[in-house]
Amino acid sequence: MKAKDLLAFIPEGDLAFLAAQTQVDHQVKKLSGRVMFQLLLLSLLDGGRASLERHGGTLLLAALPHPG
């Protein structure tokens, strides 16, 4: 089964609800919570061997809050 097939099982409304509850999309322009979830799922399906660099790490790291 492909990641795309698994994502089709998750209703869009559920992803929107989770995004609203966690406020993950607050002040986000490009890397939405939905995309982060897809990257996480892809990483899990890859057997835990995925790296941020391999799956768009520069975008992920840029989106993370910086302390200070």
Q: Could you give phi then psi for residue 58, rounded to 5 degrees?
A: -65, -40
Q: At what angle do helices 12-22 and 33-45 cross, to 10 degrees?
A: 110
Q: Give the pLDDT confidence of 41-68 residue by residue, as tens digits.
A: 777 777 655 555 555 555 555 555 555 4
pTM for the full predicted model: 0.51
Q: Classify 47 in phi/psi space as left (phi over 0), alpha (psi -120 to 50) or beta.
A: left
Parent domain of 50: 3-63
Structural domain includes residue 54: yes
For residue 60, what pLDDT is reported? 52
What pLDDT is attached to residue 32? 80
**What does the pLDDT look like over 9-42, one tens digit per residue?**
888 888 888 888 888 877 777 778 878 887 887 7
Instruction: Report CA torsion sign: 65, 45, 34, 55.
Output: positive
Please give the full DSSP string across 13-54, using - where no structure is assigned.
HHHHHHHHHHTTTTT-SSS-HHHHHHHHHHHHHTTT---TTT
Q: What is the tally of structural domains in the chain?
A: 1
Q: Is residue 68 part of a domain?
A: no
